Amino acid sequence: MLSRRRFLAALAASAVVGACSDDSGGGGGSSSAAARRSTSTTGPLPRLDGSAFTLGVASGDPMPESVILWTRLATDPVGDGGMPDADLPVVWEVASDERIRDVVASGVATASPRLAHSVHVDATGLEPARTYWYRFRVGEEESPVGRTRTAPAADAEPERLRFAFLSCQDWQDGYWTAYPHLADEDHDLVVFLGDYIYEGDRDPDKVRQHNSPRVQTLKAYRNRYGLYKGDTGLQAVHAAFPFVSTWDDHEVANDYGDEYDERGAPPAEFLRRRAAAYQAWYEHQPVRLEPPAGPDYRINRTVPYGRLAAFHLLDERQYRSVPVCGADIGPICEEAEAPARTLLGEQQEAWLADQLDSSEATWDVLANSVILSRTPVPIGDTVLYNLDQWDGFPPAQRRMLELLAERRDGNRVVITGDIHASGVADMWRDFDDDSSPVIATELVGTSVSSEFDESYLDIAEQAVRQAPWVQFFEARHRGYVAVEATSEALRADFRFVATTDRPESTIETASTWAVEAGRPGAQEA
């Protein structure tokens, strides 16, 4: 009897011949035809120059009965991939055991040079709230085994949800010493909040160097992802948990918004760059999305987790109004107060209102790239703001606070990356009115490796002392936040590594905060 494994190998071999679609019954596959072709064990697969699975495997956007599986074939990940200019068949298998013996779903996907030989498989027919293992194969080579987990059924009330949230992994600023620790923890999923790559030039003074000058082309973005995704710690985390990911600015260019580029690229040129960056992002993320076609690419989406939680993933770059008082640190000018100014864009704002309105989850978690709570920096007689954050868009910030306030139990938690420092804020309905009720909670996670400029440390610490809604602030440490949510409370452990200057480090939980259901705002636990 033909084993399932040999059958799939045969199917893959037949797919590369290209005749599969015509004579084997339209994709369903005919085992006898495939078996006849399997007499040649390697098939006509082009010879690869080294291992194809240098970038590991990943999964993401779990649903109750399916999950996205990802890999990208690249024998030379920082040298344009190194792959032949041909479509290649990639076998995938999902099993209920780590050794991939009890295979419950499988198939053959096509890795095409158009998408840098990346593969996004929607593995369906799975059971809710279950752990699975998966693997790919190209020719005779097997990928490492990844582990993933489906979401609970829509009406299920899981006892708990564990997730970690992360952001900002500048390769040059430090080693990702948090990842081996994170990979060993027990989470249902990982949320990535942006700055997965940094587009910048090589800096010889940093602990490790980028592989090219400032990235501006599709090839260069792909090679930059090739560098970042080569990290074995990052690969281990992807192989351990499904990811739920959004982006921030550095996936394209620092502080960009819509067509605005801080370096002054003409809009048409910048939009071409944005299209290239969005495509490379898609090619390297396990996302439940179609590939982009051009510079407009909708990625905002909701990932529900039974009745316990729903993750609302926001895009805070593509639709934002261009800056009017600068995109850096400065006072808020009058033009910034124009009511039409937006950070999410009109459509995404309406979409979020609908998602929140119709949500039946105990916890609505907003995956937010830039700080939402007000963070004034009083200097002498003036007050400065980081105008790249929600503070730079006061009308949009007020609309967002109103939206969050609509839910009376206050179980809306905003998780944020952005500033390379940790923070906890009790969000006021109106930050100008100190009698205003607390309506939601913002948890800000530090960077995985990106630096907080310590020359700003004193100013930042002084500023947060004057903002009574800020409960916690810490900027010296790198790491991530590990969260456990139940129907009673959402608890956040701020996990800090000792160093990112060396490849390895210890880690500790430096601070723990809890939000009680029905009571917005955080308490130190």
CB of 33 vs Ca ion, minimal distance in Å = 52
Match 């998780």 to its residue by tokens: 415
* Reduced 3-state DSSP string for 90-106: EEEEEECCCCCCCEEEE
Match 């053959």 to its residue by tokens: 108
Both tokens of residue 23?
């004579």
Both tokens of residue 408?
């009376």
User: Which among 493, 492, 369 is positioned nearest to 420, based on CA atoms?
Assistant: 369
CA 145, 180, 312, 452 torsion-angle sign: negative
Q: Choosing among Fe ion, Ca ion, none, which partner's interface includes residue 450 (Cβ < 5 to 8 Å by kind)?
A: Fe ion
Instruction: Tell me whether residue 61 or residue 251 sits nearer to Fe ion (CB atom).
Output: 251
DSSP per-residue codes, 182-201: HHHS--SEEEE-S-SS--PP
CB 90 within 8 A of CB 110: yes
Site for Fe ion in 155-174 (CB under 5 A): 168
Q: Choosing among Fe ion, Ca ion, none, which partner's interface includes residue 249 (Cβ < 5 to 8 Å by kind)?
A: Ca ion
Contacts with Ca ion by CB under 5 A: the residue count is 3
Rule CB under 5 A: choose which of 248, 349, 391, 426 binds Ca ion.
248
Site for Fe ion in 175-204 (CB under 5 A): 195
Instruction: Tell me whether residue 248 or residue 391 sits nearer to Ca ion (CB atom).
Output: 248
Q: What is the dihedral of CA 165, 171, 177, 179, to 10 degrees?
A: 40
Q: What is the DSSP letter of 20?
A: H
CB of 420 vs Fe ion, minimal distance in Å = 6
Instruction: Tell me whether residue 106 or residue 449 sits nearer to Fe ion (CB atom).
Output: 449
CA separation, residue 53 to residues 46, 237, 299, 460 (Å) = 15, 16, 26, 43
Site for Ca ion in 177-236 (CB under 5 A): 195
Interface with Ca ion, residue 170, by CB under 5 A = no
Q: Choosing among Fe ion, Ca ion, none, which partner's interface includes residue 302 (Cβ < 5 to 8 Å by kind)?
A: none
CB of 452 vs Fe ion, minimal distance in Å = 10
Rule CB under 5 A: choose which of 61, 173, 199, 249 binds Ca ion.
249
Instruction: Tell me whether residue 54 or residue 447 sits nearer to Ca ion (CB atom).
Output: 447
For the beta carbon of residue 30, count every other beta carbon within 10 angstroms: 14
Q: Choosing among Fe ion, Ca ion, none, which partner's interface includes residue 93 (Cβ < 5 to 8 Å by kind)?
A: none
Q: What contacts 465, CB < 8 A, 6 or more positions away?
A: none
CB of 441 vs Ca ion, minimal distance in Å = 21
Match 């906890």 to its residue by tokens: 424
Rule CB under 5 A: choose which of 285, 359, 450, 505 binds Fe ion.
450
Residues at the interface with Ca ion (CB under 5 A): 195, 248-249
Residues at the interface with Fe ion (CB under 5 A): 168, 195, 450
